[in-house]
Every structure is written in structure tokens, then in C-alpha cells.
Structure 1
Amino acid sequence: MKHPLPLLLLLLTLLSSPGLKAQINAPAGRVVVTYLDSKLLRGNPGGENPRRRVSVYLPVGYDATPARRYPVLYYLHGFTWNDSLIFNKDGMKPLLDQAIAEGKIRPLIVVVPNEQTRFGGSWYVNSATNGPWGDFTSRELTTFIDKQFRTLARPGSRGLAGHSMGGGGTLRLALQYPGNWAAAYALSPALLGPHPSYLPGPGLSQALRATSAAEALSSHPVLSTVAVSRAFSPNPKAPLFGADLPGSLGADSLARRDAALARWVAGTPTYLLPTHTAALRQLRALAFDWGAQDEVRHIPPTCRTFSQWLSSFGIRHTAEEYEGTHGSRIMGHDGRMFQHVLPFFDKHLDFN
């Protein structure tokens, strides 16, 4: 090495910079994995496991200060994802450690339930086939967490956020469970409103031709069609999937089933809004954002429409489109979670 001194000085300068120093030395919280044996999900016709894994982030200081209680942020994962991947692949734990160290948010508990199902995800809705996942998330899970951990067990200290399927779930649960959350923030919310790209979707024909439930697992479009059908047009007596698929096959043609599609539309936050405005008015704050280049084609236009509907009903909210795709700029130091979501909840949750 010809010039060790300048390189050494550069390295020392970088290490002494406040941002990098905090990143290296950020005090570490810990993640606890626990299990909830759900009474609500027990015996569901769809064969979903009622024993649900829940990953819980406990901030630094949780063990050292046993008298202290914390607000809780419930974070809902996306379709085919789960709680373990949120922490072990997406890097939620170091992100939270760093955000607390930098003062983006005060210490809090973050709860991520595993709502991956046999066909990719619960969509966080009550279903006659899958079971009452909306009630599970908003009632049974929150009660369980308040009993197991030192939470500030009141709505003013409870926030709700999620990405993609979890973003749509965030807005749907905010509408359907008034008084349960202080604030809600949805990232790239899916199935926010009707759009021809998923009504009925490219997987319908193959789903209708399936001869076994396992065939849905080999194709993402088919999996999505089946999962949405089990969530929004469930029929426990229907063969293979326990749902009314939004179409039928003729000898040489595919026909849509308007009745099933109507149930899908009725379950979207956009169409729930007119009869659930009081729930959103109880929130201290509501926000959602999405990438302009989102590969999930229905998300940008349905987000814009939902924001327009909120404005029409006079509901205060923040809606932002940014340059990004479905998964870009979500996690990481420069992502939406770190720079926008956590400061949002630091502002709107009660911390004592």
C-alpha cells in the first residue's frame, strides 16, 4: 500500500461521523418468538393452523427497566411473506435499533404476526373458509400481546402499519375496528379498490382447471386468485379451494361470475369507506404511500382513487406517490419505514 496514512485518516473520519458511528454502535433490542393458540381460528373449515407464530421486537432497556411500559406498533406482512422473513430477510430488527438510536422514534414494541396461510395469506379478513383473521388480528392478538408484554394497553398507544397485502389489511382493519388504533400507515396497499388487473386476474383459468389444491402452489397468479377467493368470496362447501372462484369454464370459453367479483369489490377499503367513515375520523392520523413504478399495476391508480374518496368525505390523511417499485425504498436506512413510517408513529402514539 503506497499511501496508508491518507487512507487511515479517511477511515477515521468516516468512523467518527455521527450517522455511521450511530449505525455501528446502535444499542440492540431483541426479538422474541412466541405462539398464540387462537380460539377464534380453531376449527376453521379451510384447514388453517390456529397455532400462530408471532415475532415481537423488544427495545433496548426493556429488560433493564421492568417498571416501564411501551406503545405497540403492529406490522402486517405481505402476501406469501411472514414474520420471520420480516426480521431475518428484510432486516426489521437492525432498522428498529438504528431508528431508536437516531431518535427517529422513541423505544417501542413492534409485533409482527405470521398470517401466511395454506395459499399465501389471510388478507387480514374474516372468512367463512379461512377463519376470522380480522378479529384475530384486531382483538385476539392485541389482547394476547397486552397480557404477555409490558405494553401501554390502550388505543392511544397502539399503531397499525403494513406493506402490500399488509398495507391493504392496515386500511381495512382501520375501517372495520374503530377505536382500536391511534394511527395507521399503509405501504403500497394491495386490493385497495377494484381494478381490471386483478378482477378476476390472470390465474383464474388455471385455477378453474385445477384438479388438486396443490396445483395452486406452483403458480403465483393461481395462488393469488385462490387466496383472494378464499378471503373475499369464501364457500366452505366448494371443492378444492373452499371458495367461489370468479368465473366458470364452458366447453371452449371462460365466463366471469359477477356475484363472486361483487364480493371482492365489496371487501375493498374504497367500497367500505362510505359506511365506515366514523372509524377513520377516530384516528389521530392516517397515511399511505406507493411507488409510481409499482409492478403490481392496480396499486398506483387505486391509491389515488382512495385518496380522492377520503378527501370527498372530508377525512384528513396523507397520501404520497414516490419514485419506486413495489419493494424498493421500503426497508433500510433510506427507506420509507425508517424515514417516514416510524417518525409518523413517534408523533401520533402515546409513549407514556
Structure 2
Amino acid sequence: MTRTIISFIILLASAALYGQNYSAQIVTIPAPSLEGNILGDTSAQCIEVYLPKSYTENERTYPVIYFLNGYGSEVGGGWFTSSLDQYFNENPAHEVIFIVAHGRNKLGGSFYVNSPVTGNWEDYIVTDLVEFVDSNYRTIAHAASRSITGHSMGGFGCLYIATRHPDVFNSVYSHSPGLFDRAGLEESQMFDSKEIVESHFQFFSSLEKTAPDKAHEKMLEKARTNDDWVLTFTMAYGVAFCPTRNKNAPYMNYPKNSDFVTDTIAWKQWHDGFGFIANHIKKYKENLNSLSFIGIDCGYHDNFPWIYKGTKYLSEVFNEHQINHSLILHQGDHGNMLLRQIEESMFPLITKKLVY
């Protein structure tokens, strides 16, 4: 009964939006996978839903493309709707439902992985989100009719999730993904200078010496003010990929000390974040080869040079292991050609692989 009511409300809202020539809506969905996270983020999450023009005109079912937003981004604004409208007006046989999700938390981003600190964001996407969409919209509810895509942090997230869950998503397209080559972690903004490491180490040490409640609030306040973006990003990355179950902030193992000495075990965990797919290629080769399509694009002038290097490196690893994929390098930076790449590359390539 509840699902029927939700579906009816969604259908009414969609009809109203189409009457306004605006074909996307914000929907709040339950995310039980995020319950009890240490950061205190809500287990009710917003998604943005695009329904094709024909959705209210017939009873057919549709494939679904999921898009994961980047670090710091939330859903809203319908930035993609005009592009979708134009593409599907020209290619009506390739209409899909388009879902935008974000991985934003109180530290700016979850990286779409499971963590005892941030909650199980991988499970949220793979289980909570997909089940909600399949239960409340007319979808073709099998992997061959689902694709997962994303940008930046979401570009990493879609590759990570598709690699681990080809039974849920059978194709993937990643824009400017967070990826490391062998030297990527050291060259990233988190560790590319001794001054940054010293500053971060001092802040994390101060948290460890502070009472738990006050340390927790101090950490979140630093993220709220966002006066040090690199520190906030580092905190988010650390609790995602190298968390501890210590009940005191910063809730992670930082891999350097004030003398720049490396904790090799922690360093490997940090590198295994954005380096995960390349580092574990043998384990997931069968999964990757089972995907109907793998697409990656990146700009030559990405604002984060390690992303360009990491993208090329993953392609080289794929080639070495004979994993079919498409690598598209363009003249843009980290995001100034995103919409163009979605229109000219992602839509045409992915919709041809989906089962209708």
C-alpha cells in the first residue's frame, strides 16, 4: 500500500513538472545503509529523477542510467535536463530514466564506499537506491538495463561499484575519475608538500588529545567552515579508506607523522582508495570482462594532474589485462567539458549498450 501511494505521488509530481516543461524532480528516499554512521549524517537522502517525455504517455518500462555526483556536490538544479530532452527527442528509441545521486556527507564526500565512520554508501547505491527506483518507477529491473556513471569522486564511485557489482550494473561510464597511478597519492594535494603534511598531522594530533565530544565537533566545524579545502578533503578521504573504530576523532589512521615518516600499512590503505581497481585488477578481471561497456574520459588539462595520470594508468592496466574499454581524452579541464562529454560520448555509447 505504501509503495502504491509513493508511486502515485511521484506520478502526479512528474505530470505537474512536465506541464512546466521541466522534467526533473527531487525525491527523498530512505537509506537504511547509512543508519548509525559516526558523522551523524541523515539516513534520508535526496535524489534527482528525470523521467522521459513518453513516461506519462504509455505503460512501457525503461532502462535506468544512474549518475553519481562529485565531491561536495548535492543534487538539484536539473543541469542535465535540456541535454536529455534534446538527445531523447532525436533518439526516442533510446529513452531512459535518469537518476542523479550524491555522496555528500558532513565532510564533503563519502567516495561511495562502505565505512564504519561515514556509513555504507556503496550499499546505499547498490541496494537502497536501486530497490527504491525499481519499486517506484517503471524500470526494466535487471543489470543489462542499468548503467552507472559519474564525475570526479562519482567517476571513481561508478567504476568501483561496477567493478564489484556487475550483477547490478552491466555498463559504466566515468568522467574525470579520482584515480591514482603508482605515485598518485604522493602527488595528490593531500601529500604533495611537507608543509601540508605537518599542518594536517598537527590538526589530527590536536583532535586525539581532545575530549571525544569536543574533538568530534571540532572536526565537523573545520569541515563546515571549509576554510581549508585540502584538509577537509583529506579528512573525508581518510575516514572513507583508512577508518578506525576509535570513538575519538579524527576516526582514521593518518599515514605520516610530523617528521614525514610513513606508516607503510596505513599508506597502502590510503593508496588502495583511488588505486583500488588497478591494484586489485586480477581479483576483479572476470567482473570487468562481464560488463557490456566500460567508458572513461578525462581532460588533458585536468586541474588535478594526478587524475589525468591515474586515468591513463588504469587504461594501461586494462590493456595489459585485455579488458575492453573506451578511453576518451579531451582538451578540457576537470569539469568544463562535462556536459559536452555527457551529450557527445556518454549518452550515445551507453544507450546503445542498454537492453530495452
TM bucket (normalised to shorter chain) is 0.7 to 0.9
Deviates more, 1:41-50 or 1:96-105: 96-105
Code of the aligned partner of 2:66:
Y
Q: Distance in 2 between matches of 1:133 and 1:126?
A: 5
Q: Where do 1:1-352 residues align within 5 Å?
A: 28=21, 30-65=23-58, 67-84=59-76, 87=78, 91-103=79-91, 106-194=94-182, 195=184, 196-198=186-188, 200-201=190-191, 203-210=196-203, 211=206, 212-213=218-219, 214-216=221-223, 217-237=226-246, 239-249=248-258, 253-267=259-273, 268-331=276-339, 335-351=340-356
In the alignment, is the contact (CA less than 8 A) between 2:243 and 2:251 conserved in 1?
yes
User: What CA deviation, in whole Å up to 9, does each residue of 1:82-121 have, x standing for no partner?
Assistant: 2225x2xxx2111111111222872111111232111111
Residues 284, 101 of structure 1: alpha-carbon distance in 2 compared, 3 angstrom cutoff: same
In the alignment, is the contact (CA less than 8 A) between 2:293 and 2:350 conserved in 1?
no
The count of residues paired between Structure 1 and Structure 2 equals 314
Residues 241, 72 of structure 1: alpha-carbon distance in 2 compared, 3 angstrom cutoff: same
Larger Rg computed on CA atoms: 1
Q: Distance in 1 between matches of 2:109 and 2:200?
A: 17
In the alignment, is the contact (CA less than 8 A) between 1:74 and 1:112 conserved in 2?
yes
Code of the aligned partner of 1:282:
S
Deviates more, 1:164-173 or 1:254-263: 254-263
TM-score, with structure 2 as normaliser: 0.83
Code of the aligned partner of 1:138:
V
TM-score, with structure 1 as normaliser: 0.84
1:18 maps to what in 2? none
Q: Distance in 1 between matches of 2:24 and 2:99?
A: 10
Instruction: Name the SS for the 2:257 alignment partner.
Output: strand
Code of the aligned partner of 1:79:
Y
Structure with the larger helix share: 2
Residues 48, 191 of structure 1: alpha-carbon distance in 2 compared, 3 angstrom cutoff: farther
Code of the aligned partner of 1:154:
H
Instruction: Name the SS for the 1:248 alignment partner.
Output: coil
Q: Distance in 1 between matches of 2:70 and 2:244?
A: 24
Q: Distance in 2 between matches of 1:62 and 1:173?
A: 28
Instruction: Name the SS for the 1:135 alignment partner.
Output: helix
Residues 77, 51 of structure 1: alpha-carbon distance in 2 compared, 3 angstrom cutoff: same
User: What CA deviation, in whole Å up to 9, does each residue of 1:161-209 have, x standing for no partner?
Assistant: 1011111111111111122112101011113444122284255433333
Code of the aligned partner of 1:260:
A
Q: Distance in 1 between matches of 2:37 and 2:143?
A: 29
Identity of aligned residues (%): 25
Runs of 4+, deviation exceeding 4 Å: none
Q: Distance in 1 between matches of 2:21 and 2:31?
A: 31
Q: Distance in 1 between matches of 2:350 and 2:172?
A: 8
- The alpha-carbon deviation at position 40 of structure 1 amounts to 1.4
In the alignment, is the contact (CA less than 8 A) between 2:70 and 2:154 conserved in 1?
yes
Instruction: Name the SS for the 2:56 alignment partner.
Output: coil
Q: Distance in 1 between matches of 2:334 and 2:102?
A: 21
1:21 maps to what in 2? none
